[in-house]
Amino acid sequence: MIRRPWALPLNPLYWAGLRGENALRLVGVLRTRRLAWPVISVGSISAGGAGKTPVVIALVKLLHAHGRSVDVLSRGYGRQSSEVVRVQPEVPDATNRFGDEPVLIATSTGAPVWAGSDRHAAGLAAERAASRPGIHLLDDGFQHGQLARDFDVVLLTAEDLDDALLPAGNLREPFTALARANALVIREEERATTEPRIRRFLRPGTPIWFIRRTMEVPGLSGAPELLAFAGIARPQNFVEMLKACGLRVIDSVAFPDHHRYIAADMRRLAQRLQSSGAQGFITTEKDAVKITPELRAELEAAAPVRIAQLRVEFADSSRVLADLEARCP
């Protein structure tokens, strides 16, 4: 899929840069540092929208349920600072201070989440603050060569299969990069179309974990006509999933990924609601954590706001645990 045809002449430059960085790391010019605890990375070869955050949350909950101590290391995309800090989701303006995804992970799991552009430094801070040894989950870490990993979990979607390399498409790396994966994650409903096409890029014996995704909308009664809005990498996928759940989405508004909401956005949404005839708003958990109580009150003055909760579970959680514990005892 050529998303940006004008950028095609730049693709060879991007590819050359990738190979150059890998070569420098192999010869030791660029350093890879290691932490004391095992590091499990959750990443993808696409530049967004693969669903990494729900999988990170699912892994944290799975490991917690089996007695493992877990923290999450995140860059905190879009945050106002690059310093290493522990995420405090309850403080005012949390998403601007820590990033939307770190706040969502911390809120959903209760696990310590550390944000910082230097993930090695974040890991050291997490180890110093912990009362007992545990496991680091590195959020969006497949291309993060500065930190050594013990296990690379890589997500792949059916949409990725026909995409092109950046900048003309959204692929950060070619499919041959999947040879570095220790486990591949595929959506169960995409298994038939995805698994046969991707197996040849994996090392022999690499496990494939299948995930089931469900959408829950607490507090929604009846069948109101809804206006969906989202600031995520693939907003149309959100709308399609809502419709697949039987919700009556009659209009939608897409904002840029990691969008910071302001009062003007609330006014725009209220006007769009009125012109569309919708009876309520629906958005994602990732968007909801960025909407302050004051902004939400402004939106609620126009119509009720519902939060769609995307839940991920592994089709075979015992297999996932066995694969992880084989490398991260």
pLDDT of residue 282: 98
Q: Which segments of the chain belong to CATH 3.40.50.2300?
A: 215-311
pLDDT value, residue 24: 57
* pLDDT tens, position by position, 178-229: 999 999 999 999 999 999 999 999 999 999 999 999 999 998 888 899 999 9
Alpha-carbon distance 82 to 193, whole Å? 40
pLDDT at 14: 72
The amino acid occupying position 99 is: G
Residue 328: C-alpha distances to residues 68, 194, 225 (Å): 11, 28, 48
Residues of the chain with CATH 3.40.50.300: 5-213+313-327
Q: pTM for the complete prediction?
A: 0.92
Tell me the three state secondary structure of residue 144: coil
Distance CA 297, CA 299 (A): 5
Residue 159, number of CB atoms within 10 A of its CB: 16
Q: Using CA atoms, how far apart are residues 155 and 261, in angstroms rounded to an integer?
A: 28
pLDDT for 25 equals 61
Task: Tokens 């990494």: give the residue.
Answer: 52
Rounded CA separation 161/156 (Å): 8
Residues of the chain with pLDDT under 50: none
Q: Residue 6's pLDDT is what?
A: 67
For domain 5-213+313-327, is the CATH number 3.40.50.300?
Answer: yes
The crossing angle, in degrees rounded to 10, of helices 293-300 and 263-276 is 20
pLDDT in tens, 153-171: 999 999 999 998 888 889 9
Q: 115: buried, middle or exposed (CB in 10 Å: 19+, 13-18, 0-12)?
A: buried
CATH code given to domain 215-311? 3.40.50.2300
pLDDT at 166: 87
Structure tokens at 199: 């197996």
